[in-house]
Each structure stands twice: as structure tokens, then as C-alpha cells.
Structure 1
Amino acid sequence: MARGESRKKKPGTPDYRKRFWAAVTAIVVAAGSIGVSHAGFTLPNQAQKQVQMAAAETEPAEQTAKKQVPNAAKRSLELEDAQGIQEADAAAVADQSELESDKTTASGFRSVDETVYATENLLNVRSGCGTEYEIVTQLNQGDSVQRVGIGDGWSEVLYKDKSCFIRSEYLTTTEPGSEKATVTAQGAEADAQGAPVSNGRIVAIDAGHQAKGNPDKEPVGPGSSTMKAKVASGTEGVSTKLPEYELTLSVSKKLKRILEERGYQVVMIRESNDVNLSNAERAEIANKSGASIFVRIHGNSLDNTTVNGTLSMCQTATNPYNGGLHAASYSLSKKITDSVCAATGFKNRGVQETDSMSGINWCKIPVSIVEMGFMSNPEEDQKMAQDDYQELIAGGIANGIDAYYQ
């Protein structure tokens, strides 16, 4: 046979090489868990590959399933984890949304729909939630309005189908005449310690002057032919430049708080600097308020900057308009002046009697103008601009009012 020539197999001659490898494969497969190397011999590389291929082809279905089950479980677990993360994220978003909702509610107004009644006369109804907003109208005790919101000490009410605001502490949900009137403050229950017990006394307080004076004229007293400017804007601190109308309102608000803590009901003639009320109009408001006394807060001023001290004013006993109130007004004025000077250490300049003040002459109740100190005096000006001194002044006035009623 020439070199390179293939030997031809006779027809029907068995292929012993294939048979050999088939037999080896069968032995290995039958052995199952017995490795070929453990059988005492090692197969050539090609043989090992063929054995592995044969074993793979003959692998039982359950073994394949066993391999697939962990993979499926892993995929299922991954899916559950992803779903759990999504649910956790959704819960976090919901929690945050709820938190934001709470914040919005806390800083806004809680919606209500109820009828409420004014608990005092001349109750201011404002265009906004704060004393700096315009007074739209005033309610008298027993007047009703519809409340639609409560929040931060204020009630939102409807007046002529427009939203307006009233301090919640001066509203009640129970119609006047009921034995169980419940005054509501921010829609909450009464404080556990209870509100101050009312002493049954009503005091009217006028923070003197206003941001813009009104030079128009009005009678100095009822029926008088003598005319006087309706109201002035007041003076200012020689050192601090603090306007008198700001000082008087600041002290008046402190006085209101102190008096209410002592059981008084307080009627504020003004609670904003942006008003236009003449001196006669202020007196008329006090007359109609049900108050038993009228205290007017002012700051003094002279060209002589060395003059200092506290004084008060009332009418004379011969005042043609209300001279019959002189004794009570004088007593009120003296007790307030004495108490303020005791609290502050300011010089006591006593009580001045005059019939030239329209804010006194129009009064039908005992009245006192309290000149706290001289804003033209640098030392007193600086002291009166300080919050702690304003507290002393307000406390002194309150002490004088207490003494008046004793």
C-alpha cells in the first residue's frame, strides 16, 4: 500500500474503535458517582470530553430541575427584594407626604363651619390675620358670625361673604343666654390650669396718637364752639427717634396683657398705628364699651430737655362737660402716677387738672391721661424705649388701677 493511501475497510467490517469508546462511556455512566480516575485508570483528554458530553446528555431530568430550582428561587427573591424596596420607597414618600401635610395644617387654619358670638363690645373684625390689618367692622357682645377656620389664635369668619379675622379668645360657640357658654381659643379646650378668674371690671385703654395726624377740627367738648385738631401724630424721642404713637401702643399692649392676667376685661381703642380716630371718637368708644374707667397712654415733651418725670391729667371739678367725674378721675390719676413712679423711680410730678383736652371732655366715665415720661429728656427717652422699662411702666399703671378699685 503506497504511503499516504488510506486503508479501505471491507464492507460489513465492525468499527472496533467506536465500540470500545461506547463501552467505556457506558461503564462510566453506569458507575454514576464513581469518577474515572477513582476506577484506577485515567482516560485520555479526548476520552474525558466524550465521557462528559455523554454524561450531560444522559443527566436525569430531576437533577436538571434541582439546578434550576435554586436559580428560580434566586430570581424570585430578587423580585421580592425589588418589590420590597419599591414598597418601602412608597411608604417613605407617603410618610413624607403626611409630614408635609401636617406641617401645612399646623401653620394654616383648621376648617370648621359653625356660628360664633362676640363676647365683648367693639370687637375688631380685621381684613387679615393680625392686628396690623385694617379693621373692617366691629361687633358688639352677642353679635354672631359664621366661623370657617381656626388657627394660631385667630378665627376666620365670613362677613358679607368675605373672609375676615377675629381673635379667637373673644368668641364663643354658645348663643348668649345659655348657662354653659364656652369661650373658645384656637378651638382647643381650656387650659388645664384654667384662665384667670374675671373680676367683673372692664377697662378701656387708649394708646395715644396714631401714625398720621388729622388736622381737621372737632369741638373740644359736647356742644362747644371751641374747635381743636382731631388728633396729632405726637412727638418722638430726642435720642431714640422712637415715635410717640409706637411707644404708647407698645406699653398699652403690655398693660392689656397684665390686666387680663389679673382678671380684667380690656377694651383697646386701637391695636394698630394705621388708624384714623379723633380724640372725641376715642372717648365715645370708651363710653359705649361698658368700661368703668378710661386710661389714655401718652409720652410727654418740652423744649427744655432737662425736665423729666411722670404726671397724669384729669378734668377740673368745674369742667362744664363732665365736672361730676372729677373726684373719681383725680383718684384714678393720682394712684396711677404714684404707682408708676414707685415702679420706675421716675420723678413724681403729680396730677394736672385741665379742661382743654377733648379726649377728657367727651368722656362719660372716669378718665386719666398718663404722661409716662418726657421723650424730650435724653435719659428718660432711652429708658422708655427699652422693653424692660415698658414692662415696669405697664405694671405700675396696672398697680394704680388695682389701687383705684380697692
Structure 2
Amino acid sequence: MAPATSNLTRPLVLDNALDGVGHTPLCRLDRLAKAHGIKSNLFGKVEFMSAGGSVKDRIAKRMVQQAEKDGVLIPGKSVVIEPTSGNTGIGLALACAVHGYPLIITLPEKMSMEKELTMRALGAEIIRTPTAAASHSPLSNIGVAKRLKDAIPNAVILDQYTNPNNPLAHELSTGPEIVAAIESLPGNQRVDVFVAGAGTGGTISGTARALKKHNKDCTVVGVDPRGSVLALPESLNVLKDEEDGMYQVEGIGYDFIPKVLSREPGLVDQWVKTQDSDSFKLVRDMMRQEALLIGGSSGASMAGALQWLKASPERDVEGQNVVIMLPDGLRNYMTKPWFADGLTGRELGADLSPEVASQINKVLADNHKYSLSANGDIPTHAKVEEAVTAFAETMKGVSVGTRGVNGVGKAAIA
């Protein structure tokens, strides 16, 4: 028998993959802090070290297990459906594989192919939906998920946008883990500032509740991409004339306010807006300076943290502890143009002579155009209408086994 452990500590022997969810470390970001002239202690909460590779593993595990306890999910009968930008889908695919539920994910076209392939590897079925479709549209990933639920017997949408187990997962695990890590350090043992991006809002809301219990003076800073409407005051969300409102960063930002994003006064103290260019630059900086293979939303969190700290001298205080949420890793974005284009060697000139840098850049650029796709758009698997119809027809009379939907495969939406 494995030795008893705290629920904040990962066991040395896992009963299954879900035991590897969470329990992620804080990592000092001293090199990045020095490069930006930051006096505060910067720590990244490295969520790509969770079993499924992101912070969303936590909510997926809790939503599935609680739904099963509540009788909402019935083994051998229920089918799970979820609209997601990808990471919740991966977490759900992990949980559904362990618990034996078939899973259908509705995913906007802009989300990376890596996310889709990971979910498929874990047994999920995917329907791509138009990125531009508004959340209330029947063609959006939310709209399509609802239509599938109506069409498929025993289907359940766990609904990360409204499910209280989303923020609760972070209040009970993410926040306490951060507190325990900071309290293990010498000197200041308080979390003074917490910075996180917001998508559904569950991460920042639940973690903030836990951190404010630990230190009522903890400042919580929300990060929202330009083009999203989550930030407060609402004037922050007004676009400039030349801005089209589209953003490439995945997993944060929405065109509506999810129910689980708390507007409780004093919970999220301030908001900052970020640009894709700054977010993706911070991804590269973090890789080169801290050797952390983070994803785009992590870059946004870092960009937001630096923006907030630099905005006023009294915010950056020597000895204070600033924890930045790093929601996922680079695995999900290896072929996205914002990352792949940065591998052509254009940054080499800083450390090499112009002649050598030019030669290396040319070789790498020539290789790049043959080895990586220049097309960043992910084509739809099928037209949404055809996909919904195909799933509804296929599911009629199909038996649901404990390992998946018998007879449903890729052909159903091809």
C-alpha cells in the first residue's frame, strides 16, 4: 500500500491517471524577472505538469466524479457532451476514459489540431464549429452541443460555464496548493498577488476565494485578451477603430459572461487587457529564459502580470510574492503559425555575427517552408448540420458500453 499523503501531494503510486491531475509545482521565474527589471518574487503555477496537460484537468475530474455521485451520469448509459476550446475537452476525455463514458466534443475551428488529436487519442469524438459564430448561435460550439444533447438519448452536458464544480475544483485544490507552496518558503509566506487569465472564469474565481482566505489583502488580477468582454470596468473592452476584435490566443476570453466567472466585489480586484503579440512574445521569452514550454494563454498571463507590475512603481515591491497561472503547455500549439513561425531563426542575430546569423536564418527558413504547414487554419471535420444529423442518426438504437459508444467512429462525422 502506498504511504498516506496529503490531498495536496501527488501519490508516488497512482491508482489511475486521474490521480495525476493537479499537484503541480510553483516555479521561480527569476531570470524573466531580472530581464524585465522586476523586484517582486515571480512564481509560475505550472499546470502543464498535470496528467492531461492543463489546469482544466481539475474541473473535468471533479465535474465527472460529482455528476456520477449525484446520479447525473450513469455508467453504461450516459453520453457526455461538452463545448470547449480544447483543454476542458482533453481533461474530460481523460476522465471519461477512466470512468468509461463516451464523449462528444464541440470545438471551434480556430482551436489547434493538436488538441483535437489528443482528445481523439483518448477516445473522444469531435465536431468542429465556426469560430466566428456567436455563443448564442445554433452553429456555435455551445449551440451545437445543445442540439446534440436534444438529439441523443441519455446525453449529458456537464457545462463548464455554469457548473459550480468548476470554480470549486480550484477553491479546493489549486488555491490551497499555491498557499502550501508559498508557506514552505523562508521569509514572506503570503501570496501577495495572483494573476490569471479568464475563460469560463472558474480558475480565477475559485483560486481567488482560496487565496483571499489565506491573505485577505491578496490582490487578484484578471487577464483578458483584446476582443473579449470579460474585463471590468466594461470600458476596458471597447475596441479601437483599427481593431477587429479577433484574437488568436486560445482558452481565454469570450463574447459573453459565463455564470461561473464571479462578479463578487473584491474577488478579482483589477483587470488588464493583453495583445496577441505580447502574449506570444512572452511564450518565447519563457521558453528561452526559464525553459518552460508554456502555451499561449500562459504567455498572456505573463504579459498581463508584467503589464500590471510595471504600470505603477508601488505595485512592484521587493520581497512580495506574485503567482502567475500558467494554464497549459506548448504541446497543444506546435503547428500554430504564431509558434512555428518563431522557429525560423529570426531571433538568432542577438548572439551571432550578422553574417553567421544570416546564413543560419536562410537554412532554417528554407527547411521550415517544407517541414511545417504554412496554413494555420484548421478545416472543419464536417459541416455542422451534417455532423449533428449524423450523430443523432448514428446514436439511435446504439448500445453504450462502459468503454465507449459501440459503432460510433470517425466516419460518423467525416
TM-score bin, normalised by smaller chain:
under 0.3
| TM-score where L is the length of structure 1 | 0.18
| TM-score where L is the length of structure 2 | 0.18
Higher fraction of strand: 1
